[in-house]
Amino acid sequence: MSHGFRRVLVKLSGEGLAAPDGYWLDPDTLTRLAIDLAEASRSGCQIAVVIGGGNIIRGARVASAGWIDRPTADSMGMLATIMNALALESAINAQGVTARTLSAVPMPSLCESYARQPALHHLGKRRVVLLAGGTGNPYFTTDTGAVLRAAELGCDAVLKATQVDGVYDSDPKTNPSAVRFETLTHDEALARDLKVMDTAAFALARESRLPIIVGSVHAPSSVAAILAGKAPSTLVSP
């Protein structure tokens, strides 16, 4: 059954863009994601995207080494998300669907600076909006940035693309008998201590009464298929 959402924010992992040989960007993966997001847009859903930067750098990990302070390391991570967003913007445009990168870190010679009204304008014009630069502040994950932007832009849900096709009662990688939930409430996810998103992001989603769809964009699944109800996922809602 189709979820029937009008406007969705898709949270993608940066690590998912890395090539098998370790290079930060795999052209085949980028093209597949662009085709998928273009299809979701053409289906009538307004699509915003937040993509991480972990294929290039993870600020918290760099900071933990002790030679770069956390705010600087997180700033480097924000720049990585902008690189990924610009690459994805070009790939989506090549599919015949218009995409725009809006960055929370102003760099107007490269892309638009993020503001709510321009982002809403682009969404209303059926453009895929790529929200880069995190929140513009250190110490916040891209999960938190995704939920913040989704709430701010009046999205009907956040679709979090993970390595597995939903939320399970235990780790499906280590437990073959793990059971996937079709639906959960925010309170049930908390009570069961299920790691849907990081704590700050989940708290904001719960407070904003924002549904979270958890699914995989690895073949044979995709953003378009999940939104159409044709691929497995878990809906975590108020």
Residue 181 in tokens: 């939930």
- Please give the chain's pLDDT, 238 residues, in tens: 457 899 999 999 999 999 999 899 999 999 999 999 999 999 999 999 999 999 999 888 888 888 899 999 999 999 999 999 999 999 999 999 999 999 999 999 999 999 999 999 999 999 999 999 999 999 999 999 999 999 999 999 999 998 889 999 998 889 999 999 999 999 999 999 998 999 999 999 999 999 999 999 887 789 999 999 999 999 999 9
Give the span between the Cα atoms of 217 and 132, in whole angstroms: 20
Task: Cite the beta strand spans of 117-180 per DSSP E.
Answer: 128-132, 157-162
Number of neighbours of residue 22 by Cβ within 10 angstroms: 7
- The 10 Å Cβ neighbour count of residue 188 is 12
Q: What is the pTM of this model?
A: 0.95
Q: Give pLDDT, residue 1.
A: 45
Domains of the chain: which residue ranges?
Answer: 7-237
| Residue with tokens 């930060």, as numbered in its chain | 24
Question: Is residue 28 classed exposed, middle or buried when 0-12, 13-18 and 19+ CB atoms within 10 A define those classes?
Answer: exposed
CATH number at 7-237 = 3.40.1160.10
What is the reported pLDDT for 2? Answer: 59
